Chain A
Amino acid sequence: MAVPKARRDMPLTPISYPTFGSMGKTGSWRTFRPIIDYSKCTKCTLCWVYCPDVAITRREDDSPEIDYEYCKGCGICANECPVKAITMQREEE
């Protein structure tokens, strides 16, 4: 949908269609980076369930993969992981 130029082109109420990454690549917002230790991961998929930004995908074997282009580094996955397989590391380290 094009942005209207004049009032007569405007809808009655603002309408937004979902687009992929409409806020840009939000991974740049991150100060802490989640790192998965796959030797500890039990593939329980809880991190995938809890990720509020759908930035964790499940591989075929159910092991999680973080999409660092969109992960904002909120740390919820690390907090929820029952076996402490995810640690948060400062970006510059």
Chain B
Amino acid sequence: MAQIIIDTANHIAGYAAKAARVRVVAAYPITPQTTVVEKIAEFVESGEMDAEYIRVESEHSAMAACIGAAAAGVRTFTATSAHGLALMHEALHWASGSRLPIVMAVVNRAMGAPWSIWPDFSDSLSQRDTGWIQFYCADNQEVFDTIIQAYRICEDERVFLPAMVCLEGFILSHTYMPVKIHDQEEIDAFLPPYRSGWILDVNNPFSHANLVSPEWYMEFRYMIQEAMENAKQLIPEIDKEYGRRFGLQYGGLIDKYKCENADLIICTMGTMGSEAKIAVDNLRKEGLKVGAARIRVYRPFPVEEIRNIAEEASIIATIDRHISFGMEGFLASEIKASLYHMEDKPLLAGFIAGLGGRDVTFKTIEEIAKKSLKWMKAGRVEKETVWVDLRE
């Protein structure tokens, strides 16, 4: 039977791993991820979760153990943050290159130096090109539902790729919210037992991901790109099916809010998307035609949907909780890239905000919106990248 519990997003991620009937968890603790794996350890210890819990000496080993377990034919889960994710980097490529459907919660935390334990997306966005699907969540319920959805997507034969489910440290990880834990039988009906493209077999031994010559390497890379494109088609379909079964869905690739007839679209990721909705409501009351688009899936990037949203808009404002040093925010770059082939494209204003956990409230977003609308009226963007609330 479904039940509503009040708990933190980290604990909820643990509940999701249990509900997904994960069989192997290999993890190393790091703030703010720690309580994800503590909750799972509790479930395993009490027997509520029938899983092998592998304690490892580093995040690199955690991912290596997940790769081994997934190759041996079981559903695997892990979680990490910031420097732990960075240490995993090499193994992330091995997971995607081996086409293993591992799901990992990434509790977003800013990268040092200087040390920070507070959230921004510099950790997971640094892993952009590892061949992992990336989801970004806006609340605790979405964390639960996205982990369940992620297994279904990753284990689809058209995909067979790993996925990160990202949630911002503290804003979600340690914040209590009511969450509906769906009926286990209904989850089982949505998520069949583990499937992957290949499984190791002691009776027919082989080695995988071996050295390939230049004649073969490119094709393997192309197949990952194809799988990403397939995931882009599949994610909205699975999200809709999830909505039919459980009454909750998230807009597939992009969570759109009042984007119809909007002059300005505010593009965000993660929890800033929730604040943007409040800002949109307030601005609409003032008679301003503003909408919000929360990019829920960053890889594969929803290029076509961005173009659809941009059709009617005169300006897009991106808010990046991340900076690609020497360039701009990734969201700004990628949305610009998505719009390049449109004949009549909107203006684009890039804003950098909330680095290292600085609050981005609806008030901040309203200011960003008003500045963007001013530039829209003037017909040009005064400054391509604006750092919000930066000390002079």
Contacts and interface: CB of A to CB of B under 8 A. Distances in A.
A18 B206 contact: yes
Given A17-B206, A18-B205, A18-B206, A12 B219 contact: no
A13 B219 contact: no
B98 interface: yes
Interface string B208-244: 1111100010011011000000000000000000000
B210 A16 contact: yes
B222 A15 contact: no
A53 B70 CA distance: 30
A10 B210 CA distance: 14
B205 A11 contact: no
Contacts of B99: 12-13
A17 B203 CA distance: 12
The size class of the interface chain B forms with chain A is 20 to 34
A16 B204 CA distance: 11
A18 B160 CA distance: 25
Given A7-B219, A10-B219, A10-B220, A15 B97 contact: no
B209 A13 contact: yes
Contacts of A24: none
Interface residues of A, number: 10
A13 B97 contact: yes
B73 interface: no
A21 interface: no
B308 interface: no
A7 B221 CA distance: 11
B216 A12 contact: no
A16 B97 contact: no
B209 A14 contact: yes
A13 B96 CA distance: 10
B198 A11 contact: yes
A12 B208 CA distance: 10
A14 B197 CA distance: 12
B223 A7 contact: yes
Interface string A1-43: 0000001001111111110000000000000000000000000
Contacts of A13: 97-99, 197-198, 208-209, 220
A15 B223 contact: no
Given A12-B198, A13-B220, 15 more contacts: A7-B222, A7-B223, A10-B220, A12-B98, A13-B209, A14-B209, A14-B212, A14-B220, A15-B207, A15-B208, A15-B210, A16-B206, A17-B204, A17-B205, A18-B206
| Closest CB pairs A-B (n = 9) | A12-B99, A12-B197, A17-B206, A13-B98, A16-B210, A14-B210, A16-B207, A14-B212, A13-B209
Interface of B: 97-99, 160, 197-198, 204-212, 216, 219-220, 222-223
18 contacts: A7-B219, A7-B223, A10-B219, A10-B220, A10-B223, A11-B197, A12-B98, A12-B223, A13-B98, A13-B197, A13-B208, A13-B209, A13-B220, A14-B220, A15-B206, A15-B208, A16-B208, A18-B206
